């Protein structure tokens, strides 16, 4: 009887010790897993972006917000035009290329992918003294290709038409010319290297007109309606405003992306940043 009692006590102690050891092991593993999870959600490092000057306000707002949430991430932006942004994504000098036009067939054939993060209306702007307030797509085409050379032919003053636009390679120029149907036939008086310069040029010349990203239009110029439709967030989203284009991230298929780059793309295309995009003057995706 005494031997049985001693054996029972010994067995119970051994079992308790075993359970304690297992519990300790599980606790240690859980803590390790938690530590791994914590480390995996901490982002750090640089993200190099560049390209379209039209996306400056919206990419600035998205970058600032993302860096506030991830203080160890540094996002840079080089405003060099859509063409340069696409090239930077293709040759790997940029983590994310930025373009204010969609990719062409020859660019997708190079293994490039477009990810839309916002939309933009291309506003047709005239000098604030110009009495013209509405133009049809056909009239805009005529003004751009030189078929219409005097503002009186579209209800304006008896004055020559002066077209101010962007340089070759600009996403805004490509979008305007392709939608209006005036590729390579525009009669430019000036070809400038930024959206802001186009607006300033139109503001300084009472006979000038040009095109600019909706997000960049200010009170120094007048945006006309196109076929009676004003360029607004709602009309761009529902497609009734015809002169519009996407804002896109450009990436190269097969290129290894950093965790911070992936996270920023996910953030910039999520619903939670819709208000941020709208406040920056661009049009959020539906």
| Other Cβ atoms within 10 Å of 30 Cβ, number | 10
- Whether domain 45-120+246-284 has CATH 3.40.190.10: the reply is yes
Which conformational region is residue 169 in: left (phi greater than 0), alpha (psi within -120 to 50 degrees), or beta?
Answer: left
| Residues forming CATH 3.40.190.10 domain(s) in the chain | 45-120+246-284, 121-244
Question: Is the separation of the CB atoms in 144 and 182 below 8 Å?
Answer: yes
Residue keyed to tokens 């919206």: 58
Measuring CA to CA, which residue among 185, 192, 143, 201 is closest to residue 168? 192
Angstrom distances, CA of residue 82 to CA of 68, 121, 180, 181, 186:
27, 16, 19, 20, 19
Helix (H, G, I), strand (E, B) or coil at 110: coil
Residue-level pLDDT at 261: 98
pLDDT at position 284 is 95
Count Cβ atoms below 10 Å from residue 145 Cβ, excluding itself. Answer: 17
Q: What is the pLDDT along the chain (286 residues), one digit of tens a residue?
A: 433 343 343 444 443 444 344 444 444 444 334 333 333 469 999 999 999 988 999 999 999 999 999 999 999 999 999 999 999 999 999 999 999 999 999 999 999 999 999 999 999 999 999 999 999 999 999 999 999 999 999 999 999 999 999 999 888 998 999 999 999 999 999 999 999 999 999 999 999 999 998 888 999 999 999 999 999 989 999 999 999 999 999 999 999 999 999 999 999 999 999 999 999 989 999 7
Distance from chain centroid for Cα 79: 12
User: What does the buried/exposed string (b/e) look like for 98-137 if buried means 16 or more CB atoms within 10 Å of the residue's CB?
Assistant: bbbbbbeeebeeeebebeebbbbbbbbbbbeebebeebee
- The Cα–Cα gap between 258 and 156 comes to 54
pTM above 0.75, yes or no: no
Right CATH for 121-244 from 3.40.190.10, 3.40.50.2000, 3.20.20.370, 3.40.50.1100: 3.40.190.10
The neighbour count for residue 257, using CB atoms within 10 Å, is 15
For the chain, give the mean pLDDT: 88
Which pLDDT value is given to residue 216?
A: 87
CA separation for the pair 22, 36 (Å, rounded)? 21
């Amino acid at each position: 009887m005494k031997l049985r009692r001693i054996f029972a006590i010994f067995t119970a102690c051994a079992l308790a010790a075993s359970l304690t050891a297992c519990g300790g092991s599980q606790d240690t593993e859980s803590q390790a897993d938690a530590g791994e999870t914590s480390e995996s959600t901490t982002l750090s490092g640089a993200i190099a972006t560049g390209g379209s000057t039209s996306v400056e306000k919206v990419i600035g707002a998205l970058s600032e917000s993302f860096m506030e949430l991830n203080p160890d991430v540094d996002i840079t932006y080089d405003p060099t035009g859509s063409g340069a942004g696409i090239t930077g994504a293709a040759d790997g000098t940029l983590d994310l290329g930025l373009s204010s036009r969609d990719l062409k067939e020859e660019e997708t054939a190079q293994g490039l992918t477009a990810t839309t993060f916002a939309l933009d209306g291309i506003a047709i702007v005239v000098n604030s003294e110009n009495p013209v307030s509405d133009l049809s797509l056909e009239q805009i085409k005529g003004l751009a290709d030189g078929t219409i050379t005097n503002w009186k032919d579209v209800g304006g003053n008896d004055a020559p038409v002066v077209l101010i636009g962007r340089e070759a390679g600009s996403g805004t120029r490509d979008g305007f010319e392709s939608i209006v149907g005036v590729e390579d036939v525009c009669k430019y008086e000036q070809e400038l290297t930024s959206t802001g310069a186009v607006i300033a040029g139109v503001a300084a010349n009472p006979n000038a007109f040009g095109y600019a990203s909706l997000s960049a239009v200010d009170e120094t110029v007048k945006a006309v309606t196109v076929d009676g439709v004003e360029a607004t967030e709602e009309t761009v989203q529902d497609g009734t405003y015809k002169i519009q284009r996407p804002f896109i991230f450009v990436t190269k298929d097969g290129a290894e992306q950093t965790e911070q780059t992936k996270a920023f793309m996910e953030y910039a295309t999520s619903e939670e940043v819709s208000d941020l995009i709208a406040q920056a003057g661009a049009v959020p995706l539906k």
